[in-house]
Structure 1
Amino acid sequence: MCYICQKRKVKKLLLNKYFYVGFGFLLWMIFADQESLIVQYKLSNDIKTLEKQKKFYLEEIEKNQNSLNILNNDTTSLEKFARENYYMKKDNEEVFVVIEEKE
């Protein structure tokens, strides 16, 4: 096609009222609306982040549930847990904490 024909088509398109209405609608949907594309993108990223957090916390709950079951059913592990975390001891013993130096 010739350059002049293309120029006429562009000019005709720019003078069309439907073009302006469509362009305005497109701008409105991208930037100004409450459910705009920018907001949808941010919400999508938030959902992905929350799903990762949900997965992490479900795994942590599973680990804690397993630890709780072990502590409820095994007295030696309960005693070990109490000694390590709460520094409990029997009446007739002394507890020494040995810290190894890392090289």
Structure 2
Amino acid sequence: MLQKIPPFFRNFYVATALALLVWMTFFDANNFIAQFRNLAKLTELQREIDYYSTQIDTIRADQHEVLGSDRLREKYAREKYLMKKPTEDVFVVVDSLNEPLEK
């Protein structure tokens, strides 16, 4: 039976390397499949880090604008939250070019 195995595979080092490769591919807790999944999750989390970093920069810029001075705070509140003084009226203009025309 040992004669049926090619001589290349009867070498101790080749057999050990093949056994280690099979073990690392399928049976180990850190197998290649799990490593690939972890790499995919890492890239997804890196994209989330980039997204939230840009969001943090945007929020910090808005915070600087709001906390800068009273005039800027009032301007920000009027534009972003449509706030008004008690003696004035606010008119909101909506761009209707993006809506389909009714026939």
Shorter-chain TM band: 0.7 to 0.9
**What is residue 26 of structure 1 aligned with on the other side?**
21
Overall identity of the aligned pairs, in %: 26
1:44 is matched with: 39
What is the number of equivalent residue pairs in this alignment? 95
Q: For each residue in 1:82-101, what CA deviation from the matched residue of structure 2 results, as whole angstroms up to 9, or x when unmatched?
A: 12333221111111111122
Aligned-partner residue type, residue 102 of structure 1:
L
Aligned residue number for residue 99 of structure 1: 94
Q: Which runs of 5+ in 1 are unaligned?
A: 1-7
Residue of structure 2 in register with 1:89 after alignment: 84
Residue 55 of structure 1 is matched in structure 2 by 50
Unpaired segments ≥5 residues, structure 2: 99-103
1:20 positional shift:
4.5
**C-alpha separation in 1, matches of 2:85 and 2:68:** 21
What is the TM-score normalised by the length of structure 1?
0.72
Instruction: Please state which structure has a larger fraction of its residues in helix.
Output: 1
Amino acid at match of 1:80: K
TM-score (normalizing by structure 2) = 0.72
Tell whether the 8 Å contact from 2:65 to 2:76 is kept in structure 1 after alignment.
Answer: no
- Amino acid aligned to 1:60: Q
CA RMSD of aligned residues (A): 2.6
Counterpart-to-counterpart distance in 2, 1:102 and 1:12: 78
